Structure 1
Amino acid sequence: MKATLKTKYDADKSGAASTLAVNASDVKLRASITDATIINAPSLNGLSLAVEKPGFFIVDYNVPKKDLRFQFMNTVKVAEKPLNLTYIHSWADNRTVLDGNLVLDSANKFSANHALGSGNCKLKYTYVHKHATTFEPSYDFAKNSWDFSISRKVYDDDVLKATYQTTTKALGLEWTRNLKSRGNFKIVASVNMADESKRPKVTAESTWNFEV
């Protein structure tokens, strides 16, 4: 069996989280923990479990909150173009989200996200230029605002990405390196352009693949 270990460190919160995923045939089993699970004494705080069949469904269970989250995926054809649909329902807060993306070709894709009953809808357009640079403008109807991101592949193994949120005036920079079959690592930094007194937020994330 193959397994994946993901760790994340948040410098702003001085905390870390880890996720272990194991592939068992065509099903993936996943367990996630945070500092609250193991610091001082072992507990169930910050523990979540999941069962996933990639491309079909994900069932998440938050142990301390006793909350179930269901996610179902399907793909249909619209004018011979693939439309990927995702249905997400959170049991505790009775919240349902519909997510879809229509792939026009290898360079163009439209995405939509809608929370039922909220009146909130987000639209995003993705354009990939020469398989190297990706532009992603998005519009949030609830906030009446635009967000923008641009990313570019560097030396095949690295991806540099910049994001900007117009409502919060938050500028983000992200660097991801692909370690081939071993996994990858990512460093994300963000700064609030509207409040210079706030220090930049930095998080680091690494993913490792190995045989069990």
Structure 2
Amino acid sequence: MRTSLKGRYTNDRSTAVVTLTANAGDVKLLASMSDVTFVRGPRINNLTFTVEKPGSFIIDYDVPKKFMNSIRVAGKPLRLTYNHEHGGNRTVMDGALVLDSDNKVSANYVFGTRDLRLKYSYVHGGASTYEPCYDLGKNAWEFSVSRALLDDVFKATYESWTRDFALEWSRNSKSNGIFKISATVNMAGGSKMPKILAESIWELDL
């Protein structure tokens, strides 16, 4: 059994994510609580339960609004996520098709709208990742490139519709855990301060 705790800090609020994983033979069981905020008292927004048999299926149930599953298409894993918000009467589907170890295609679609995002991910040489993304609803592009150096990953992202440019540095260390620091600047002009984000994850075997 393993548990992990992730703390996240931004300019406007702090949150936490708690996960608990257990193995039952060749099936993995996982429970996750995300967006645990401490502003005006503790509050839990998302609770997810997962049953996974590696290489065969993944079934996730998000209380109260998500249902997710994973199937295989021509031997390729296809992961689908359905998110229905009762209050907003809105249904969203996320899909990701892994073509091989270096190539993946993903999509995000809001039913009944033109909101469709298509993203292609390509890993070059096992260290550099290029991810162009097209948003049909906004008729705009997003592009990101990242580079892995030992335990460190450096990433740059640009969104054409918001003109936001972000730089991110993350490290995954067995001894010191995982942490990420990023800064986002709007390139549209003005004297706005960059938005700073910092988060860290600690894991513990039970």
Aligned equivalent of 2:73 = 77
Structure 1, residues 22-72: CA drift from partner, whole Å, max 9, x if none? 12443222234212253xxxx5x45543323356233334xxxxxx22131
Structure 1, residues 88-134: CA drift from partner, whole Å, max 9, x if none? 32333232222222222222222111111122111111111101100
User: Following superposition of structure 1 onto structure 2, how do residues 98-117 of structure 1 map, counting pairs within 5 Å?
Assistant: 98-117=93-112
User: Following superposition of structure 1 onto structure 2, how do residues 1-212 of structure 1 map, counting pairs within 5 Å?
Assistant: 1-10=1-10, 12-13=11-12, 15-25=13-23, 26-32=28-34, 33-36=36-39, 38=41, 45-54=43-52, 56-61=58-63, 68-78=64-74, 80-154=75-149, 156-180=150-174, 183-212=177-206
1-side partners of 2:86 and 2:61: how far apart? 11
Q: Which amino acid aligns with 1:28?
A: L
Aligned-residue offset at 1:164: 0.1
Normalised to the residue count of structure 2, the TM-score between the two structures is 0.86
Which one is further off, 179-188 or 136-145?
179-188
Distance 1:207 1:9, change over 3 A: same
- Contact (CA 8 Å) 1:85, 1:100: kept in 2 or not? yes
2-side partners of 1:88 and 1:120: how far apart? 14
What is the SS of the residue equivalent to 2:113? coil
Unpaired stretches in structure 2, ≥5 consecutive residues:
none
Aligned-residue offset at 1:197: 1.6
2-side partners of 1:100 and 1:7: how far apart? 27
RMSD: 2.1
- Contact (CA 8 Å) 2:108, 2:116: kept in 1 or not? yes
What is the SS of the residue equivalent to 1:36? coil
Aligned-residue offset at 1:174: 0.8
2-side partners of 1:104 and 1:23: how far apart? 28
Distance 1:37 1:21, change over 3 A: farther
Distance 1:30 1:81, change over 3 A: closer
- Contact (CA 8 Å) 1:6, 1:205: kept in 2 or not? yes
2-side partners of 1:127 and 1:119: how far apart? 26
1-side partners of 2:175 and 2:31: how far apart? 20
